Amino acid sequence: MLLEILLNVMLNAIAAVIQVPLLIFHALGLEIPLSLFDVHFSRADNVSSPLGSRRSSRSKEPTPKPNGSLRKKQGQDQDIDILHKRIIDAVDIVEIVHAHGYKIHEHVVQTRDGYLLSVHRILKKEATSTAYLTESPVVYMHHGLLTNSELFVLGDKTSKCLPFLLVDAGYDVWLGNNRGNKYSRKHLTLSSLDAKFWDYSLDEFAMFDIPDTIDHILDVSKKESVTYIGFSQGSAQCLAALSLSAELNRKINLFIGLSPAMIPKGLNHPIFSFFVESAPNLMYRLFGCRAILPSVVFWQKLMGPSLYEDVVTKSVTLLFGWTSDNISSSQKKVGYAHMFSPSSVKSVVHWFQIISNRRFQMFDEGGSSGSRLVYWSGVSLKTNRVAPFPTQTITTPMHLIYGKADSLVDIDKALEHLPISTTTYGVETYEHMDVLWAKDVEKSVFENVFSKLDEYHVTTK
């Protein structure tokens, strides 16, 4: 009894330290104004004048031309520095895409359960309409946990942004967003200040966000199917969605997973591993039941690029054991400035359940399945066995690209639960983020993506 009292006192003290700032953010509605240090937001090209006629008042520099060829090195370095500054200072994906010299259209997807998701369509630099895309195959890209659509356009040079390379190769490229992140904080009846707004996990991503977004893209593009490229959790969401819908398998003609998180190995530090093995009630007690990382933009602005880079690098080393040796300092400054975006605490808890159980499963509302600290939830292990996502039933062709030094991706475990036709491509020394941001990512990863795309389209002609 005394031990239980002391444990409760300790947990309450820890929860108070973590929760007080979050409660202030939520109760006073401060999370939005704290993140908006600059009130100007750029409008997408489908709701504004053509690119170049309306520039942000904060960005007076000329548009850099990363693809320009015959210049002196000094001029090239100056252009790259301008590009980096514009990306770091950008307030949204519109400014980031414009900084690279491309155009962007914004669409809104209404899910069947009432969430409004922003979806971004990337267009050629010289495009005046979408008519040229009539015959273009569609590629849909989806981000990972605690990020958003900006993730794919954060290369420190344009050639390190896969969406732009795909656009130049003639594809119709769309970038999606999960409910609750920077671009999808609206609902038909709920406020983002309501706890119910944040009551979602991978289940809802798979049942609503992915299939409803795909349907919208097919409706707009007038195509029968899309190619899906997912990063990390973005891969897992698609696998879960495909496993639940035979119809969706007909709408996604090819799946390419980059660092495909399915059954992660776990966290590096024993203290954080303790949270993974704990019952969900502990996470909810510490972080509440709404958003996780609600004030990340505030801290990023407060610290500045250099300090923030150091903090993030040390954090991922502590959490996952990553060295980040394959990612340049300039890439970290550019990428980290926009890397994180809120999601629900419940979605993180869902991953902890998957890691703890070593199975790709739906959310366990009982919260105890497989936990070694099950007594904290007060539920017996024998009470509930939550259903897995039946990924072996997927018929869509699948290709997985991963880093062989990635501490999060257990490729052998993933393949046990996927059809035997699934193909893989591993990159030596690569860690989780390297498949997007490594110094040699164009050759080591992007060439393999294009090879798989070419292989599919030649086969289906």
Q: Which residue has the higher pLDDT, 434 or 310?
A: 434
pLDDT band of residue 385 (cuts 50, 70, 90) is confident
CATH class, 42-49+69-127+135-460 region: alpha beta
Pick from 354-358, 367-371, 383-387, 407-411: least confident = 367-371
* CA-based torsion, 41, 42, 46, 47: positive or negative: positive
Tell me what the pLDDT averaged over the chain comes to. Answer: 85
pLDDT at 255 over 80: yes
Task: Give which of 183, 143, 188 is closest to 41, Cα–Cα.
Answer: 183
- Rounded percentage of the chain residues whose pLDDT exceeds 90: 64
pLDDT digits (tens, 9 = 90+) for 290-317: 988 776 666 677 787 788 888 888 888 8
What pLDDT does residue 316 have? 86
Task: Give which of 266, 240, 290 is closest to 394, Cα–Cα.
Answer: 240
Contact by Cβ (8 Å): 237, 210: yes
Q: CB pairs under 8 A, 24+ apart, for 365-368? A: 367/279, 367/280, 367/281, 368/279
Taking CA atoms, 55 is separated from 97, 102, 269, 338, in Å, by 12, 13, 45, 20
What pLDDT does residue 117 have? 98
Contacts of 2 (CB under 8 A, 6+ apart): none
Mean pLDDT of 24-49: 58
Q: Kindly report the CA angle at 122 between 260 and 149, in degrees rounded to 5?
A: 40
Q: What is the pTM of this model?
A: 0.84
What are the phi and psi torsion angles at 344 (to 5°)?
Answer: -85, 150
pLDDT digits (tens, 9 = 90+) for 61-113: 444 555 545 445 555 777 999 999 999 999 999 999 999 999 999 999 999 99
Residue 35 to residue 25: CA distance in whole angstroms: 11
What pLDDT does residue 57 have? 41
Q: Which two tokens stand for residue 274?
A: 């303790």
* For the chain, domain boundaries: 42-49+69-127+135-460
What are the phi and psi torsion angles at 281 (to 5°)?
Answer: -55, -30
Q: Which residue has the higher pLDDT, 28 or 217?
A: 217
What pLDDT does residue 33 have? 55
Pick from 43-52, 99-108, 130-139, 264-273: least confident = 43-52
Q: Which two tokens stand for residue 320?
A: 């996952």
Pick from 23-27, 111-115, 147-151, 202-206: least confident = 23-27
Q: Which residues are catalytic?
A: 232, 406, 432
pLDDT at 6 over 60: no
What are the phi and psi torsion angles at 30 (to 5°)?
Answer: -85, -15
What pLDDT does residue 125 have? 92
What pLDDT does residue 21 have? 55
pLDDT at 347 over 90: yes
How does DSSP classify residue 173?
E
Q: Kindly report the CA angle at 228 between 227 and 229, in degrees rounded to 5?
A: 120
Taking CA atoms, 367 is separated from 191, 350, 358, 364, 396, in Å, by 26, 9, 15, 5, 31
